[in-house]
């Protein structure tokens, strides 16, 4: 039985761990060939093996998406290896430790803006001619529900994610005529490190999951990855310009407990 993404080529950024990895594996399970990137290649061989175990082809490109040339190279390398590009998932995003606005310096804002908004913009612009000439494509960017609630101590992150939401809607307006859909997702997913932390800290786990209507964080592959796979398949070709909450309803509540998570494994992408 053929998967919904058979014969499609997908680029997933920041996919050697966490939500990006879960998305890459889910798209591979649906039949797509996967090109993925990260700044550090240390975990790439394991992801390649898991993609192959799902019967899909995979390729890794080391890339720092705060650098325009590397973002463009990622897209050109994907096309060179597989001959086309059907799907782009912009998951990669740098982070900073929590701090109030008054303690943020310009470099915090500049770094997250370049790693989020500009990194997404550069890959989108590089992907656009390939999708346009092929008659269409699917782009999924990553915003955050922290934008809508103004989550404290994350001003630089919130600004970057708000910019990505605006970029998504604008590209959906401009590129729809070419059959390209552009959407964004706001996920709250639990990778292995987050789950280990929650398992060993029941009080923090209760505080965090108690603020989520569905009572848990999402599984990176079977919740977040499955939703993204749905957004990039043929069934949703009439869906564009949306910023979709993939958070179990967390955006309906303030998520004060999220502050109990170590910043390096913060669940909100």
User: Among 192, 202, 104, 213, which Cα is nearest to 156's?
Assistant: 104
How is residue 229 written in tokens?
Answer: 């796979």
State residue 255's pLDDT score: 55
Cβ neighbors of 81 (< 8 A, separation 6 or more) are 35, 59
Please state which of the four CATH numbers 3.30.70.100, 1.10.540.10, 3.40.630.30, 3.40.50.720 is assigned to the domain occupying 9-265: 3.40.50.720
Whole-prediction pTM value?
0.92
**C-alpha distance from residue 226 to each of 22, 79, 231, 269 (Å):** 9, 24, 9, 16
Per-residue pLDDT in tens (0 to 9) along the chain, 269 residues: 569 999 999 999 999 999 999 999 999 999 999 999 999 999 999 999 999 999 999 999 999 999 999 999 999 999 999 999 999 999 999 889 999 999 999 999 999 999 999 999 999 999 999 999 999 999 999 999 889 888 899 999 999 999 999 999 999 999 999 999 999 999 999 877 788 888 888 888 888 888 899 999 999 999 999 999 999 999 999 999 999 999 999 888 755 555 555 544 444 34
Active site residue 157: yes
Q: Domain residues of the chain, as ranges?
A: 9-265
State residue 256's pLDDT score: 56
The CA angle 34-36-168, to the nearest 5 degrees, is: 95
State residue 198's pLDDT score: 84
Query: Given 60, 113, 157, 178, which residue is catalytic?
Result: 157
**C-alpha distance from residue 253 to each of 25, 146, 201, 213, 248 (Å):** 30, 11, 22, 8, 11
């Amino acid at each position: 039985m053929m998967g919904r993404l058979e014969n499609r080529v997908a680029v997933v950024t920041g996919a050697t761990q966490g939500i990006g990895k879960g998305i890459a594996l889910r798209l591979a399970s649906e039949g797509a060939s996967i090109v993925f990137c990260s700044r550090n290649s240390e975990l790439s061989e394991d992801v390649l093996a898991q993609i192959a175990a799902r019967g899909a082809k995979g390729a890794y490109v080391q890339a720092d998406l705060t650098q325009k040339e590397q973002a463009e190279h990622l897209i050109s390398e994907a096309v060179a290896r597989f001959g086309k590009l059907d799907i782009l998932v912009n998951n990669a995003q740098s982070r900073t430790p929590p701090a109030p606005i008054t303690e943020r310096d310009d470099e915090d804002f500049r770094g997250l803006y370049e790693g989020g908004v500009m990194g997404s913009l550069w890959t989108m612009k590089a992907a656009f001619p390939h999708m346009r000439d092929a008659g269409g494509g699917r782009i999924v960017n990553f915003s955050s529900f922290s934008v809508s609630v103004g989550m404290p101590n994350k001003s630089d992150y919130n600004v970057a994610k708000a910019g990505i939401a605006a970029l998504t809607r604008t590209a959906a307006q401009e590129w729809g005529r070419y059959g390209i859909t552009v959407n964004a997702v706001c996920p709250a997913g639990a990778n292995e490190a987050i789950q280990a932390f929650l398992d060993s800290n029941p009080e923090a786990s209760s505080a965090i999951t108690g603020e989520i209507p569905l009572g848990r964080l999402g599984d990176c592959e079977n919740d977040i990855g499955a939703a993204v796979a749905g957004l990039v398949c043929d069934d949703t070709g009439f869906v564009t310009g949306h910023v979709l909450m993939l958070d179990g309803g967390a955006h309906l509540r303030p998520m004060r407990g999220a502050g109990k998570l170590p910043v390096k494994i913060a669940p909100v992408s």
